[in-house]
Amino acid sequence: MAPSIGSAAIVTALFKDAAGVDRAYHAALSRGYDRNDINLVLSEDTCRKHFSVDQVETDLAEKAAESTEKKHPAAAKIGGPVGGTAATIAPALAAIGSAALLPGLVLAGPVAIALAAGGAVAIAGGLVTALTNWGLPQGRVEEYESEIRQGGVLIGVKARNHADSAYLQNEWQSAGGVLVHA
C-alpha cells in the first residue's frame, strides 16, 4: 500500500543533479501543483552549490537580456548560459516554509511547515522522524537521508489522485529520478 495522507499517495523521488530536479519540479507545476505543494529536501551544501540566490539573480538577468535581444537584435548580449534550474527552485527554497530546521539540511514545502509546527520534539527526531510522520516508510526515509547527505535532492508531492501519481512517477523517472515511489 502506498504511503498516504488521507487518501492521497505521496510521490517521492531522489535526484542527483540539478537539471533533473528542475525537470521534476516543472512536471509537478505543469500538472497543476503549486510550488507550495512541492516538498524539497537537500543538504545545505547542495543548496549553496546548485540553488544559490546569487545564481537566481544572474539567471534572471540573463533571461531578461535574452528577451530584450529577441525584441531588439542589436541589443548587447550578456555572456554565459541561460539556466532555469536555480531560477525555478531557489525561490521555492527561499519562500515561506523553507528552513534549515534540521542540522545540515534544508526543507521546503508542506513537510517543512509541518516540521516547524511540530516544534522541538519533531526537530530533535531528525529527518527520519519528520518524513515518517509525513507518511513515508522508515526504511525508505533512511535510504533517502543517506543520499541527500551525499548531494542528492528529494522531491515529493501529495498526489491528488491515482492519475497524478502515475504521471509524476513516469515524468520523474524520465527526468533521471531514482528511488521513485508512491
If you write DSSP's letter for every residue of 135-175 in order, what string do you get? T--HHHHHHHHHHHHTT-EEEEEE-SSHHHHHHHHHHHHHT
Question: Collapsing DSSP states into helix, strand and coil, what is residue 73?
Answer: coil
Residue 105, in any domain of the structure: yes
Residue 74, in any domain of the structure: no
Residue 57, in any domain of the structure: no
Per-residue pLDDT, 115: 64
Average the pLDDT over each of 45-49, 77-81, 112-116, 122-126 and give the range with the smallest value. 77-81
Of 79, 74, 129, 75, nearest to 101 by C-alpha is 129
Contact 120, 134 (CB under 8 A): no
Q: How many CB atoms neighbour CB 30 within 10 A?
A: 10
Greater confidence (149 vs 84) lies with 149
Whole-number mean pLDDT of the chain?
A: 72
Mean pLDDT, rounded, for 120-145: 74
Per-residue pLDDT, 119: 55
Greater confidence (6 vs 31) lies with 31
Strand partners, 86: none
Q: How many domains does the chain have?
A: 1
Q: Give the confidence band of 21 by pLDDT, cuts at 50, 70, 90.
A: very high
Residue 80, in any domain of the structure: no
Residue 150, in any domain of the structure: yes
pTM of the model: 0.70
* Three cell numbers written together for 102: 534540521
Q: Give the confidence band of 170 by pLDDT, cuts at 50, 70, 90.
A: very high
**Per-residue pLDDT at 91 exceeds 90:** no
Q: How far is CA 125 from CA 25, 45, 135, 170, in A?
A: 27, 21, 15, 32
Per-residue pLDDT, 89: 60
Q: Give the confidence band of 105 by pLDDT, cuts at 50, 70, 90.
A: confident
Domain with 170, as residue range(s), is: 4-52+92-181
Helix H or strand E encompassing 83: none
- What gap in Å lies between CA 57 and CA 117, rounded to an integer? 31
Per-residue pLDDT, 173: 98
Most confident of 9-13, 55-59, 88-92: 9-13
Greater confidence (10 vs 97) lies with 10
Residue 12, in any domain of the structure: yes
Q: Give the confidence band of 51 by pLDDT, cuts at 50, 70, 90.
A: confident
Residue 102, in any domain of the structure: yes
Residue 122, in any domain of the structure: yes
